[in-house]
A and B are shown apart, each in its own frame.
Chain A
Amino acid sequence: MSTMSPATKPYEDMQLAFEAERRKTKTRNFIKGILFLLPSIILFSVFLFYPMMKTVYLSFFLTDASGATTVFVGLQNYIQLFTSSIFLKSFKSTFLFVLYIVPATIIISLFLAVLANEKLKGVGIFRTIFSSTMGISVAAASVFWLYLFNPTMGLLNEILGFLGMEGIGWLTDPAWALVAVSITTIWMNIGFTFLILLGGLQSIDQSLYESANIDGAGYFYKLRRITVPMLSPTLFFVLTVTIINAFQTFGQIDILTQGGPQNETNLIVYSIYREAFVNYQFGAASAQAVILFILILLMTALQFKFGEKKVHYQ
């Protein structure tokens, strides 16, 4: 450094000053960026990341009624869950519920979307009606169906009676309660699923149909060979979203069955709610919440992995 010629010195200084200025700008940019993000970061930390970690933490403890930890029990809460008949039943019911509602929701919504995608006069009214259940809250929908399922004056049993069949204890018969809750949920899901699928149908390149028409392809051939394959990314999205929503079901259960009869409809979120806010077993409830988290994480990961690539690409 000492051999530096005097001529380069000012240049060097300038570069140093420039460098310092750049660092200052960098710091300023960083502060500015963080400031714009700060409100979101704070709220995510307080109401999302911290609670999630706290849930995992609580799942290793017993707690008192206020939620303070009392005894560290390690994996005991989890072991108990997987040996308790009530939780195993809740687990089974949740999966059965997913099985009942996911295929039915998608098939019915796809049918409606295909119908409503035809260029017919007045089709807009039908689109509005098909999507209407999206605007109906879980509380209102449950109240509607609570009446429909009513054993003595509900419309469903009246129809059954009219057909000469015996009435069903929709919400009180252990064999039917989960079915009844599923019907309600499918109906509620149709609006959103229909809208998304209709959007998917409308984004399919029309020239595919035109060239199929030239080849003289029939309606169902086009449906099977063009519509469904081209729609597969949307179908996949709808599939994962419906499964995730099914895992998170709560309101219908709270109004229609309160988890009964005989815990048949005690789906996982309702089970968490009951364990935590009725029985004050926050540790055991947290262990269930962790399992719910893992289930949904798996679904989301699946969606990101395959959804990104688009299932079908032509």
Chain B
Amino acid sequence: MTMPLGQKITFYVLLIVSALLIFAPTLMAFVMSFMSNKDILTGSMPTSLTLDNYRQAFSTFPLMQYLINSVVVSVLIMLGQLVLSSLAAYAFVFLEFKGRDILFYIFIATMMVPFEASVIPNFHIIRDLGWIDSYAGLTVPFFAMAFGTFLLRQNFKTIPKELREASLIAGMGDFKFYLTVVMPVAKTSLVTLGVYGFLTSWNMYLWPLLATTNDNVRTVQIGLKQMQTQEQLNQWGVIMAGAVIVIIPTLLLLFLGQKKLQKGLTEGALK
């Protein structure tokens, strides 16, 4: 169906204006990260572009260490969630045993507990385990994930049960069937869940703030806060350079996987 030209123009104008408004803060940060401090302080348009802010961000702050920490933490959480969610989803779809339904309801119940409400005892547990300032303390509490289990359960359900029966008759155990048949078939969902897990872990704020006290394990989000609080002299260019570095990985992932993520989220949300 073709649209009248007038309507088309209206839509494009609205789209462009909205896009400019939504993107303005991000664009501003991006431009500022390349501006000299003088230009920023005088509020002028950029007269020259420079990489000084990035250089300074990396030299005055352990930004590289923050980035490495964030990558390690996010990848660990992502892998942990994939393994635990897929194992649990396998049990809920393919195995029949007493108490399965009750356990399933318990999994649903976990979605009702906000992490913020249980953060105090969690902090004490991590402290008593000696996990403050460790990758374990930053990651292990997030491995078990009801949302991931449900998402994969939906996907595993599409695998015919006969396939498992045939495999069992052929002498393949459940674990081998899970590893060599189910996981490859569910690759797309695993990628969706992985991207989602990475994004959320990379952007985590409250827990890394509590569970780290030094730069050796501090994640880049908390690092950014450090930059902002320590940088008293209005070095906005340096702070924006840090912020741009923080958002680049997640923006890239989002742009590349947008369609898949949208589909996955909508499925998880509405089924």
Interfacial residues, chain A to chain B (CB-CB below 8 A): 26, 29-30, 32-34, 36-37, 39-41, 43-44, 46-52, 54-55, 58, 67, 111-112, 115-116, 118, 120, 123, 125-141, 143-148, 153, 155, 158, 187, 190, 192, 195-196, 198-200, 203, 213, 219, 233-234, 237, 241, 244, 247-248, 250-251, 254-255, 269, 272-273, 276-277, 282, 285-286, 289-290, 292-293, 296-297, 300-301
Which residues of chain B in 204-251 are interfacial with respect to chain A, using CB atoms and an 8 Å cutoff? Answer: 205-206, 209-210, 221-222, 224-225, 228, 234, 236, 239-240, 242-243, 246-247, 250-251
Nearest CB in chain B: distance from A109 CB, A: 10
Kindly state the separation between the CA atoms of A47 and B239 in the bound complex, as whole angstroms: 34
Q: Are A269 and B206 in contact (CB-based, < 8 A)?
A: yes
Give chain B interface residues in 6-37, CB to chain A under 8 Å.
7-8, 11-12, 14-15, 18-19, 22-23, 25-26, 28-29, 32
Asked if A51 and B121 sit within 8 Å, CB to CB, the answer is: yes
Q: A51-B125, A255-B225 are in contact. Are A144 and B243 (CB under 8 A)?
A: yes
Contact of B251 among A48, A136, A203 (CB under 8 A): A136
Is B65 in the interface zone, CB < 8 Å from A? no
Among B106, B118, B263: residue with most chain A CB under 10 A = B118
A44 touches B110 (CB 8 A): yes
A43 and B144 within 8 A (CB): yes
Q: Which of A148, A187, A273, A300 contacts B111 (CB 8 A)?
A: A300
Select one of A54, A115, A116, A233 contacting B270, CB under 8 A.
A233
Q: Is B119 an interface residue (CB 8 A)?
A: yes
| A143 contact set on B, CB distance < 8 A | 29, 224, 228, 239-240, 242-243
Say which residue of B19, B125, B205 sits within 8 Å of A126 (CB atoms): B19
- Interface positions, chain B 247-261, Cβ under 8 Å from A, are 247, 250-251, 253-255, 258, 261
Judge whether B144 and A47 touch: CB under 8 Å.
Answer: yes
In the complex the two chains form, is B112's CB within 8 Å of A297's CB? yes
Q: How far is the CB of A9 from chain B (nearest CB, A)?
A: 32
Q: A112-B18, A144-B29 are in contact. Are A39 and B110 (CB under 8 A)?
A: no
Residue of B91, B144, B251, B262 near A33 (CB, 8 A) is: B91
Residues 171-229 of B at the A interface (beta carbon under 8 Å):
174, 178, 199, 202-203, 205-206, 209-210, 221-222, 224-225, 228
B151 to chain A, nearest CB (A): 14
The interface stretch among B46-54, B94-102, B159-167 is B94-102
> Provided the pairs A153-B40, A199-B265 are in contact, do residues A136 and B119 lie with their beta carbons within 8 angstroms?
no
B170 at the interface (CB under 8 A from A): no
Query: Which of B26, B41, B107 is within 8 Å of A132, CB to CB?
Result: B26
Q: Chain B: residues with CB nearer than 8 A to chain A?
A: 1, 3, 7-8, 11-12, 14-15, 18-19, 22-23, 25-26, 28-29, 32, 40-41, 43, 83-85, 87-88, 90-91, 95-100, 103, 106-107, 110-114, 116-125, 140-141, 143-145, 149, 174, 178, 199, 202-203, 205-206, 209-210, 221-222, 224-225, 228, 234, 236, 239-240, 242-243, 246-247, 250-251, 253-255, 258, 261-263, 265-266, 269-270
CB <8 Å contact, A55 and B26 = no
A289 touches B118 (CB 8 A): yes
Asked if A277 and B210 make an inter-chain contact with CB atoms under 8 angstroms apart, the answer reads yes
Residue from B121, B228, B251 within 8 A of A58 (CB atoms): B121
Q: Give the top 9 A-B pairs by smallest Cβ distance, nearest first.
A: A199-B266, A51-B118, A51-B121, A36-B91, A135-B254, A43-B144, A54-B121, A33-B97, A137-B203
Q: How far is the CB of A150 from chain B (nearest CB, A)?
A: 8
Q: Are B251 and A135 in contact (CB under 8 A)?
A: yes
Identify which of B8, B25, B210, B265 contacts A196 (C-beta below 8 A). B265
Q: How far is the CA of A244 from the CA of B117 in the complex (A)?
A: 12
Chain B residue numbers with a CB within 8 Å of A276 are 119-120, 123
Q: Is the CB of A144 within 8 A of B25?
A: yes
Asked whether, in the complex, the Cβ of A39 is within 8 Å of the Cβ of B84, the reply is yes
Please determine whether B205 and A254 come into contact, CB atoms closer than 8 angstroms: yes
Residue of A nearest to B100 (CB): A33
- How far does the Cβ of A25 sit from chain B's closest Cβ, in whole Å? 10
Bound CA span A192–B264, Å: 13
Note all chain B residues with C-beta closer than 8 A to A219. 7
Q: Are A58 and B263 in contact (CB under 8 A)?
A: no
A128 touches B255 (CB 8 A): yes
How far apart are the CA atoms of A116 and B144 in the complex, in Å?
Answer: 36
Which residues of chain B are within 8 angstroms of A190 by Cβ–Cβ distance?
22
How many angstroms from the CA of A175 to the CA of B125 in the assembled complex?
40
Chain B hits for A237, CB < 8 A: 269-270
Contact yes or no, A144 B254, CB < 8 A:
no
Instruction: Show 7 A/B contacts (Cβ-Cβ < 8 Å), sorted by A.
Output: A39-B88, A52-B117, A139-B203, A139-B224, A140-B29, A140-B243, A277-B210
Residue of A nearest to B142 (CB): A47
Chain A residue at minimal CB-CB distance from B203: A137
A250, B97: Cβ atoms closer than 8 Å? no
Which residues of chain A are near B96, meaning CB under 8 Å?
29, 33
Report B195 CB to chain A, min CB distance, Å.
Answer: 11
If A30-B99, A128-B255, A158-B43 touch, whether A36 touches B118 (CB-CB below 8 Å) is: no
